[in-house]
Amino acid sequence: MFSRRQMLQHSAFAAAAFTTPGLFAELIQTASMTEGPFYPDTLPLDTDNDLLILNDALTPAAGEVTHLTGRVLSATGEPIRNAFVEIWQCDNNGAYLHSGTGNADNRDSNFQGYGRFLTDSKGQYYFRTIKPVPYPGRTPHIHFGISRNGKRIFTTQMLVKGHPGNESDGLFRRINDPKLRETVLVDFQPLPDSKIGALSANFDLVLGHTLEELEDGTLGGGIGKSEWSQQGRGFGPGRGARQPR
């Protein structure tokens, strides 16, 4: 029911948007932010869109369960179909799925730490994950990488709206324009009728120009370098991608 309600709401908005002259004139492109040093140096065996359950394990990851939805849009508001969305974040103990992470001894072995999803015809994506927690020196955040045709085209981070750590976060403070700051701040709201206190969050990404590529034709990490270029694989929503539930 959650999935169906979300999809209907998004569809209704899209229908209204494309029949209302000038509605997308106010669209602000999402602020880009650095990838950071902790994109997984070894991807997990399970890379689907449910970060709480590893393969067929029975024990879920610790943290506040969050249903994360959104759309990937062009600068003019058109949905971007088949955009490859990657997210990665630290676990509830502040440890990343990376060999150089801090607090590695306390890493939650049940947390996937990374997920992927291929957007549908309306540009929509879905992940089940945890509400981000502070990492030493950083406010809570989730990393996003968007790729198309095997190349990373956009990178940013999603922050928790209203968190006290935002104003002292060095990367967030680099975004000088208040309107641009708002594009990476997301509300986490209680999911109606959830018996486990789950949350919902919606993060729409409005893409601007393609980020400048490095000399080798990639953007540092992400699908363009770690899988497509080096291993010659195609990509999709991840093995056994789970739908909202």
- Per the CB < 8 A criterion, the answer to whether 185 and 161 are in contact is yes
Query: What span, in angstroms and rounded, lies between the C-alpha atoms of 63 and 109?
Result: 13
Name every residue whose Cβ is closer than 8 Å to that of residue 138 and which is 6 or more positions away in sequence.
165, 169, 171
Average pLDDT over residues 37-48: 93
At residue 26, the pLDDT reads 60
Question: What are the structural domains, with CATH classification, of the chain?
Answer: 65-210 (2.60.130.10)
Q: How far apart are the first and last CA of the chain?
A: 8
At residue 132, the pLDDT reads 98
At residue 78, the pLDDT reads 94
Residue 39 vs residues 35, 136, 198: alpha-carbon distances, Å: 7, 16, 26
Query: What span, in angstroms and rounded, lies between the C-alpha atoms of 237 and 225?
Result: 17
At residue 204, the pLDDT reads 98
pLDDT at 232 over 80: no
Query: What span, in angstroms and rounded, lies between the C-alpha atoms of 126 and 137?
Result: 28
pLDDT digits (tens, 9 = 90+) for 47-103: 999 999 998 888 999 999 999 999 999 999 999 999 999 999 999 999 999 999 999
At residue 209, the pLDDT reads 56
CA angle 125, 31, 114 (to 5 degrees): 40
Tokens of 168: 């002292």
At residue 208, the pLDDT reads 78
